[in-house]
Amino acid sequence: MGTDLYAPLGQNRKGKGKPPRRPSLRLAALALVAAAVLGFSFYLVRAPSGLEKAPPVSVQVAAKPEAAPPSDTPVADKKQPSQSSKNGANVERTVMDDGSVVTKFSPRPRDGSGPLIIDAQRIGQDPRMAAQPNDDLLEESPFGRLPIKGPDGLRPMDQYARPWSGARGNRIAIVVGGLGLSQTGTQRAIKQLPPGVTLAFAASGNSLQRWMQEARRSGHELLMQIPMEPFDYPNNDPGPLTLMTGQPQKENLKRLHEAMGRITNYTGIMNYLGARYLSNADALEPVLRDIGQRGLLFLDDGSSAQTVTAKVGKPLNVPHGFADLTLDTQVNKQAILRKLDDLERIAQRKGTAIAVASAFDETIDAVSEWVSEAEGRGIELVGVSALVSEANDN
């Protein structure tokens, strides 16, 4: 230890520990790192797969041959009319400025050799339009509009028919007549009877046009009942429009047309009484001829054993048929239900059956109850036109 007591402490110690720093080496390392970063960035910018924006590519789309316009026509006017022999239409294609093609179809006049458009409503009507008549099937007369065949041969019998399934199971038609004679009875029949039941309107009824519209909107097929002379006339008088065997043909046709003009949208005619008239071929022939020429059917209620409907109607090609039984000869619900069971047995034996009845409360209740059960047994309730037309073909 020295003897200089006034010297600063530690000034006499020898240096130990870390060597002195070299600033030049640290700076060199930093420079190398910076150079590497700059070099890599320059490489990314200049490399073909780098982030440099690629030049725009021109894409050409080949147009369809049929849309290619002539080279000397401006793009906006490149219209190409053509005709399609398959759809009977004119087809016009226009190429727009953006390259899209606009196609325009317009009807082409028919020359009689092209395809024919079939009217899907020839048989039956859309339920939404069922209360409206087809004007093509009507002619004006002094008695109102009368049914006729259309220019293309369409019959009212087909246009106003109730559609059915087409299945060949057991089929039954039930015709309930006398509608229009009683307001409450008519309203009840339209509202409560199943749509498959055919309704027949009496020519002497009231408010027939209104009831007809309600019935059609409810899905019913309709007939017009024409009064005809019974054997016990005048004690049993069907009404002022009764067709009479002793009347001239012209007068009977006048009465027939007056009754026909009361409503529209019906498929055919049904007799009201008329046992004597239906047994007289000379009186019946001009009436059935007129009915057939108008495209209507004729339903014989089957009440007269002496009827000549088939004998007269078949040579005239008038669609006609016969009721197999009358349901309400006894106005009692249980008796009517038994008759309906008989009707079902007839249908099981023959394949088809037709019944007629009147719009009594007991009849409406019995028919409504029986129909709901019969359908569960495989019976199909159809409009009477489905069975009359088929019967005429056999």
Tell me the two tokens of residue 380. 């199909």
Residue 25 is predicted with a pLDDT of: 60
Beta bridge partners of 92: 81, 104
Contact 178, 353 (CB under 8 A): no
pLDDT exceeding 90 applies to what percent of the chain?
64
**105 vs 251, higher pLDDT:** 251
Indicate the DSSP class of residue 113: S
- Residue whose C-alpha is closest to residue 268's, from 236, 235, 237, 301: 301
Q: DSSP string covering 54-76, please? A: PPP-----PPPGGGPPPTTS-GG
Where is average pLDDT lowest: 135-149, 234-248, 306-320, 378-392? 378-392
List, by residue range, all CATH 3.20.20.370 domains of the chain.
129-393
User: Mean pLDDT over all residues of the chain?
Assistant: 82
pLDDT tier for residue 125 given thresholds of 50, 70 and 90 = confident
Class of domain 129-393: alpha beta
What pLDDT, in 10s, does the model give residues 5-45? 444 544 454 444 445 555 556 666 666 666 666 665 555 54
Q: What is the pTM assigned to this prediction? A: 0.70
The pLDDT of residue 332 is above 70: yes
Residue 24 is predicted with a pLDDT of: 58
Gap between the Cα atoms of 296 and 391, Å rounded: 14
* Torsional class of 144: left (φ above 0), alpha (ψ -120 to 50), beta (otherwise): left
Phi and psi of 240, rounded to 5°?
-70, -20
